[in-house]
Homo-oligomer: A and B are copies of this chain.
Amino acid sequence: MKVTLNRSAFLEELATVQRAISGKTTIPILTGVKIKLTENGLTLTGSNADISIETFLSVNDEKANMLIESTGSIVLQARFFNDIIRKLPEDTLTLELGDNQQVIISSGKALFNVNGLNADNYPHLPVINQDQAFKLPARILNKLVNETVFAVSLQENRPILTGLHMILKDNQLLAVATDSHRLSQRVISVEGENQDFDVVIPGKSLQELSKTIKDEEELVSISMMDNQVLFKTENTLFYSRLLEGNYPDTNRLIPTSFNTEITFSVPELLSAIDRASLLSHEGRNNIVRLKIDSENVMIYGNSPEIGNVEEKLSYLSVTGDPIEISFNPDYMKDSLKSFGPIDIKINFISPIRPFTLQPADGDVDFIQLITPVRTN
């Protein structure tokens, strides 16, 4: 195995597969990056218990400027390898497999001799039938993930809630996440002849996915089998395990009739909540209080030690009953951020029932739920 190529192009591939590599794995070879050189180009692989990422750099890629002298494969310690490549003196580097699984990395006058591991011992990635792939532009997939994944549970006591529930049925793609205190659900219409599915994908995997697929113009092919999902773009394969078990029926949680409706501009509400939460974070309960009456809409935050804050909120419209309701401002902030700088409506039933947040533009099928905190 011997190849000479552009350092920046190589570093970019390395950074991608490194997302899947953890220093804490119990399988030593998985702390490494697998490098495989064929006549067609260079394949890099990184993997951990949850996800695996494989990238391909083609010999025809102009910016890689690749000269392949001989093929082969090896596994190198990811952490050092990345540091070494990053600090090499020239724009070009040469990788050469020598004796005893040693790799010679050279660039300018710098010469590294690094111990590798036999690539034959690297685990095989799952084989997934890609005939029935469901295709989605990266831009739409990333948006769907970012609108919902923040609401997955971070607690392992109900593992199924650490995942995003994704259902495709009759070309309606639904994504929903809940940690049982709040919920975010987004539905989009898709085109083409697609086979229905119903899976739960770990939230962490999807967060890595949306960092991995940065080119939003790409088309992502999504293929599934029993316990794995594959997201594929032109040069990247992203595998994630699926979560097993039944996801709770979230549909019944979403209320449909309300007593109060108020419309806000998200950036204005967000900065007011942010201010109110400065003091609530120091209080025992971390709650802020919203009060809607016939005269004003007010937000209150309080910390017995530090002091208190109140602010008269700007809103676009309000209808229905007066209400006074307390909630965790961090849930509200997460929710508002996921909407982006739009107008939203918030609907309340009572101070003890979950309230909903939705885009004011009724054509967008996107709803969030936050459970209030009962106070005396």
Question: Which of A's residues lie within 8 Å of B, judged by CB?
Answer: 77, 80, 83-84, 87-89, 102, 109-115, 271-272, 274-275, 278-279, 282, 305-314
Indicate which residue in B80, B109, B111, B272 contacts A306 across the interface (CB closer than 8 Å): B80
Q: Could you tell me if A114 and B311 are in contact, using CB atoms closer than 8 angstroms?
A: no
**Cα–Cα, bound, A111→B87 (Å):** 52
Copies of this chain present in the complex amount to 2
Known: A87-B274, A275-B88. A112 touches B307 (CB 8 A): yes
| B309 in contact with A102 (CB, 8 Å) | no
Min CB gap A279→B, angstroms: 7
Chain B residues whose C-beta falls within 8 Å of the C-beta of A307 in the assembled complex: 102, 112-115
> Does B89 contact A278, Cβ atoms closer than 8 Å?
no
Task: Report the separation of the CA atoms of residues A311 and B105 in the bound assembly, to the nearest whole angstrom.
Answer: 12
Query: Chain B residues with Cβ under 8 A from A271's Cβ?
Result: 87, 89
> Who on chain B is nearest to A299 by CB?
B110
Q: Are B309 and A110 in contact (CB under 8 A)?
A: yes
Given contacts A77-B306, A87-B271, A115-B306, contact A109 B279 (CB under 8 A): no
Instruction: Check A110 against B306 for contact (C-beta < 8 Å).
Output: no
- Assembly CA distance A147 to B83 (angstroms): 28
Given A109-B312, A111-B309, A112-B308, 9 other A-B residues pairs in contact with their CB atoms under 8 A? A80-B278, A89-B271, A89-B275, A110-B272, A111-B311, A112-B275, A113-B307, A115-B306, A115-B307
Can you show 22 pairs from A to B with CB atoms below 8 A apart?
A77-B306, A80-B278, A80-B282, A80-B306, A83-B278, A84-B275, A87-B274, A89-B272, A109-B311, A109-B313, A109-B314, A110-B275, A110-B309, A111-B309, A111-B311, A112-B279, A112-B309, A113-B308, A113-B309, A114-B306, A115-B305, A115-B307
Query: Which residues on the B side are within 8 Å of A311 (C-beta)?
Result: 109-111
Decide: A310 and B83 in contact? CB cutoff 8 A.
no
Most chain B CB within a 10 A radius of its CB, from A77, A88, A109 = A109
Query: CB-CB < 8 A to A274: which residues of B?
Result: 87
B114 and A275 contacting across the interface, CB-CB below 8 Å: no
